[in-house]
Chain A
Amino acid sequence: MDRNSPPPTPPKKRLTPLDFALFSAVIGFVLFAGYRVNDVLVYDWNWSRVFNFIIRYDADSQSYVPNLLLYGLATTLRLAVWATVLATIFGVVMGYWRTCENLTLRILSRSYVELIRNLPPLVFIFIFYFFISSQLFPALGVDDINPKSWAVNNGLFRLMFGDPKLLSNFLAGMLCLAMFEGAYITEIVRAGIQSVSKGQWEASRAIGLSPFNVLRDVILPQAIRKILPPLAGQFISLIKDSAIVSLISIQELTFLATEVAATTTKVFETWILVGAMYFVLCYSFALLFGWLERRAAKIHR
C-alpha cells in the first residue's frame, strides 16, 4: 500500500445514551459555572461598550466602521503572516545547516535553536527587542522613513504592513516573533530533510548533480510534503504566540485589548471577546489547512 494513502475508514459509530448523558453533564456543568459567576462576582456586565471597540456606528458617514480591536486583529494577522514568511526563511536556512557536514554551520544553527528553545518566549522577546532590534532599525534607517511619503502612504502598503507611522513598531514585533518561531521551524525543516532516505542523496550525487541541485531538485521537493502540515500548525500557534509581543507594546490585538480594558474598566467583557476573536481566527485557519491537506493527499494519490 502506498504510504500516502489514508488509513481505511473505521466503521461509523453511533452515539449511545451514555454519550448523551456525558454531553449533558458537561453542558450542565458549564451552564452551572456560568450561572454561578454572578454569585462570586459583583459585576455590572456591559457588553455594548466593548462591542463598540470592535465595530462602531459612525454618525458622520452614516455607516459602521471598524474600531480599535478590529484594527488590532488585522495587525495580529499581518504579524503572523509576515513572521511566518520570515521564520520559514530562517528555518529553511538553519534547518539545512543542521544537516550539513560543515561543523561551523552545525554549531551555529544548533546554538540558535537551543538558545531560543530553552528560553521562555517572554524573556527572549524582552531581551531581543531592547538589545538587538533597537540597534537594528535605526541603523537600517527605518525610523527615519517619513510616514507621509508616497512610497509608504498608499493603500497596498497599508494593507500589507498597516499604518506607516507604526512601521518600526510593527517590524520590531515581526522580527522578534520570526526569530522565535524560526527555531521551531528549523527543527521541522531538519526533520523533513532527514526523513528523505540516504539513498536519495547518494543516488543524486552519483548521477553528477551539484550539491545545490541535489537539494533543490531531489531532497527539498520530497521534504516539503513532510514539512507543510507541521508548518501550518506552527503558523496557527504563531497567531497565538503573537500575543506575547504586547509586552513590548506592539499594537496588536492583546495590547489594544489592555488599553480597551483600562479605558472601559470592563475587563471580563474585553478578554472574553478578544478570546473569541483569537479562537475564530485560529480555528478558521485550522479548518482551512485541514481541507488543503486532504485535497493535497487526494492529488498525490
Chain B
Amino acid sequence: MKLLKPIKGLVVAAAVAVTSIAATAIPVSAQSVIVDIQKRGTLRVGMATFVPWAMRDQEGNLIGFEIDVAKKVAADMGVEVEFVPTAWSGIIPALLAKKFDVIIGGMSITPQRNLTVNFTRPYAHSGQQMASNVALAGGFTSMDDYNDPSVTISCRRGATPCNFAQKRFPKATLRRFDDDAQAFQEVVNGNAHATISSAPKPRFWADGYPDKIFVANDGKNLSRGDEAFALRKGDVDALNFFSNWILANTSNRWLDETHAYWFDDQSAWKDMVAK
C-alpha cells in the first residue's frame, strides 16, 4: 500500500491539471452570437433580480426596466426572449461559460469588469444613492462625517456600491451582504449607519420607512453610473449591433421614457408587485 501513495497523488494532480487546461482552452467562436441568436430563434438574457431593474410581479413573472429593454431588443431582432435569472456573484462566469448571450442586468461599466467582458454604450445612468439611519446619521453635517472608523456602511457584495464605498469612505467599516435587502435591513435595524446602492432603491426604502431612513447627500446621487449590456470578448458584430440598438433607442427617447416609468415614481407599477 505504501507504493500506492505517490501514484494516487499523481492521479489527483493529473485530474486537476486536465480540468484546468480544459477550462483555459475555451475556443473563441468565429461566428457572432448574433447569428446564433437568429438561428436559435431566442435571445438568452442573463439578469439578476434587482428592484426596479428586474423583479417578480404577483404572478411570479419578471417585470422591470431591463425586462422591458430585453423584450424590445428581442422584438426588434424578430426573436423570442428567454431570461436566465442568475446569482449576481456568478453572472460574469456564467456569461463566459455561454449560459446566455448577453447580460442585460443593470451592470455598471468598470475598468476591472471591462478586462473580462465587453460593454456596449450605456443604456442607463442611474448612479449611487446612500440611505442613512435617522438615529445614527441624522446629525451628520457633511458627507465626510461618514469617513470615520466608528461608521458602519453595508453594501451588496460584488456590486459597484461596495467598491465605491471603499474609495469614498476608506476609514468606515464595510459590511458586505449577499443581497441588497439584507444590507438595507441592517440600516433599518440600526446596525449600520448607511448603505449605498443604485438609485432609486434608497429612495424607495426611505419612502417605506420615513422615520428610520433618509437619503443622504440631500437626496442627490453620490456618483453617476453608466450601465451597459455585457458581452463576451472578441465579438465585434454583437457589440456593434447592441451598441447601435441603444443609440437608436436613446435618440428616439424610448429608453428615457421607459427609464422614467420605472425609476421616477414607483406608484405607477407598485400595485403589480406589492399587495
- Which A residues fall within an 8 A CB radius of B? 40-44, 48-49, 52-53, 56, 58, 67-68, 71, 103, 107-108, 110-111, 114-115, 126-127, 129-132, 134-135, 138, 165, 169, 246-249, 251, 255, 258-267
Contacts and interface: CB of A to CB of B under 8 A. Distances in A.
Interface in B237-275: 273-275
Given A115-B15, A130-B23, A260 B56 contact: yes
B226 interface: no
A40 B189 contact: yes
Given A134-B97, A259-B85, 14 more contacts: A53-B56, A58-B59, A68-B56, A107-B11, A111-B15, A126-B90, A131-B19, A132-B19, A169-B84, A246-B87, A247-B87, A249-B94, A251-B85, A261-B181
A138 B190 CA distance: 49
Nearest to A261: B181
B184 interface: yes
Interface string B78-102: 0000101111001001100111000
Interface of B: 4, 7-8, 11-12, 15, 19-20, 22-23, 49-51, 55-56, 58-60, 82, 84-87, 90, 93-94, 97-99, 178-182, 184-185, 188-190, 205, 208-209, 212, 273-275
Contacts of B86: 249
Contact of A267 (B182, B273, B275): B182
Nearest to A71: B60
Contact of B8 (A110, A134, A260, A265): A110
B185 A130 contact: no
B49 A262 contact: yes
A134 B98 CA distance: 8
Contact of B181 (A127, A132, A134, A265): A265
Most buried by B among A129, A134, A251, A261: A134
Is the contact region of chain A dominated by helix, strand, or loop, or is it mixed? helix
Name the 3 nearest CB pairs between A and B, nearest first.
Answer: A134-B97, A68-B60, A262-B49
A111 B274 contact: no
Given A42-B189, A49-B275, A255 B87 contact: yes
B8 A259 contact: no
Contact of B19 (A71, A127, A248): A127
Nearest to A115: B12
Contact of B22 (A48, A110, A135): A135
15 contacts: A52-B275, A53-B56, A56-B58, A111-B8, A111-B11, A129-B97, A249-B99, A255-B87, A258-B49, A258-B178, A262-B55, A263-B55, A264-B274, A267-B179, A267-B185
A265 B23 CA distance: 37
Contact of B49 (A41, A248, A263): A263
A67 B55 contact: no
B182 A263 contact: no
Contact of B85 (A129, A132, A249): A249
B90 A249 contact: yes
A49 B87 contact: no
A179 B20 CA distance: 18
A144 to B, nearest CB: 8
Nearest to A60: B59
A171 to B, nearest CB: 13
Nearest to A48: B275
Nearest to B213: A42
Nearest to B91: A249
Contacts of B212: 42
Contact of B82 (A114, A138, A165): A165
Contacts of B185: 43, 267
Contacts of A68: 56, 60
A175 to B, nearest CB: 14
Contacts of A260: 56
Contact of B56 (A41, A44, A259): A259
B184 A263 contact: no
B98 A138 contact: yes
Contact of B184 (A41, A108, A265): A265
B7 to A, nearest CB: 6
Contacts of A251: 85
A134 B90 CA distance: 14
Nearest to B24: A131
A42 B97 contact: no
A150 B6 CA distance: 53
Given A42-B190, A48-B275, A114-B12, A107 B4 contact: yes
Contacts of A44: 208
Nearest to A165: B82
B82 A249 contact: no
B4 A262 contact: no
B218 to A, nearest CB: 24
